């Protein structure tokens, strides 16, 4: 089933069993509702609605980590597999159908690398959305990206470019190449863990922050590994067509992403953090 049909068949009760706030339906109704937690982007949403009045939106779609995925088995980030169900969610997906073609843009609220990680998790071959990869575009919903969102939506909606071509353009804009992506991913993970370690020592209930931190690190590792494996150019120019070598390098790149273990974050005290 295509992306539009899958999402339209869902409802809040079956889609998100545990979360108290959930919406899946008309974007127009969502931005006018009290449930709208993206109000700062209402102007952008209204512009998109002007081009496609039947836009739908799904908020906080849960994405579970596939234990069958080859990439996840190779990454072997064991702490990520300890996360409770529904820890990882796609903050927003806008979706529509036009000229018998289903299309969607999924958004992270953090950064482009994590958006790609979410996309790769959502579209794992053995998962429900596994056949929708060519119907979904991954982007980041932040103020600095609104111009790119408008342009990407226009090109996608009007059929000027396919999802894959648009995603490659965005990749080039935001991560340039996989080697630069690795350096950006290393710095990003370090920043995330540094900030978490500062915050958790001040918190009585650190569960959500720790789970979120582990999830974000997994998404970064996932994005880098799969991005490397998806590069046909690297396969031919760097690895002489040897997929095994490419896989080894992809794993090594992912392994360079720094992490702090789940148990360390739970045991961390203010005194220990100060000493470090």
Per-residue pLDDT at 274: 52
Q: Which tokens belong to 187?
A: 């710095």
pLDDT tens per residue across span 53-108: 999 999 999 998 888 888 988 998 999 999 998 899 999 999 999 988 999 999 99
pLDDT tens per residue across span 113-134: 999 999 999 999 888 898 999 9
pLDDT tens per residue across span 196-243: 999 999 998 999 999 999 999 999 999 999 999 999 999 999 999 999
Per-residue pLDDT at 113: 98
CA dihedral sign of residues 180, 182, 188, 190: negative
Mean residue pLDDT of the chain comes to 91
> For the sheet containing 23-26, what is the strand order?
23-26, 56-62, 89-98, 101-108, 136-140
Per-residue pLDDT at 136: 96
CA–CA dist 233, 163 (Å, integer): 19
**Confidence at 9, pLDDT banded by 50, 70, 90:** confident
Whole-prediction pTM? 0.92
Domain map (residue ranges) of the chain:
3-174, 178-275
Q: In the chain, where do the E strands start and end?
A: 23-26, 56-62, 89-98, 101-108, 136-140
CA–CA dist 114, 121 (Å, integer): 10
Per-residue pLDDT at 272: 57
According to DSSP, residue 17 is labeled: S
């Amino acid at each position: 089933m295509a992306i539009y049909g899958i999402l339209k068949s869902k409802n809040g009760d079956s889609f998100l069993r545990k979360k108290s706030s959930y919406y899946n339906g008309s974007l127009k109704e969502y931005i006018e509702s009290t449930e709208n937690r993206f109000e700062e982007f209402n102007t952008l949403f209204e512009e998109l609605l002007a081009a496609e009045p039947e836009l739908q939106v799904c908020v906080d779609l849960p994405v579970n980590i596939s234990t069958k995925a080859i990439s996840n088995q190779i990454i072997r980030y064991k702490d990520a597999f300890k996360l409770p169900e529904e820890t990882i969610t796609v903050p927003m997906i806008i979706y529509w159908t036009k000229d018998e073609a289903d299309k969607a843009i999924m958004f992270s609220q953090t950064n482009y690398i994590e958006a790609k990680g979410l996309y790769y998790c959502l579209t794992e071959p053995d998962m429900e959305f596994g056949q929708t990869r060519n119907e979904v575009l991954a982007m980041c919903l932040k103020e600095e990206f609104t111009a790119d969102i408008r342009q990407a939506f226009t090109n996608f909606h009007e059929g000027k470019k396919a999802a894959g071509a648009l995603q490659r353009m965005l990749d080039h804009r935001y991560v340039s190449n996989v080697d630069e992506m690795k350096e950006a991913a290393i710095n990003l993970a370090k920043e995330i863990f540094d900030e978490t370690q500062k915050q958790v020592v001040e918190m009585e209930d650190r569960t959500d922050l720790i789970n979120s931190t582990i999830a974000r690190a997994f998404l970064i590792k996932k994005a880098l590994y799969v991005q490397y494996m998806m590069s046909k150019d690297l396969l031919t120019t760097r690895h002489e067509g040897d997929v095994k070598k490419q896989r080894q390098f992809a794993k090594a790149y992912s392994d360079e992403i720094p992490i702090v273990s789940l148990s360390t974050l739970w045991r961390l005290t203010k005194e220990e953090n100060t000493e470090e």
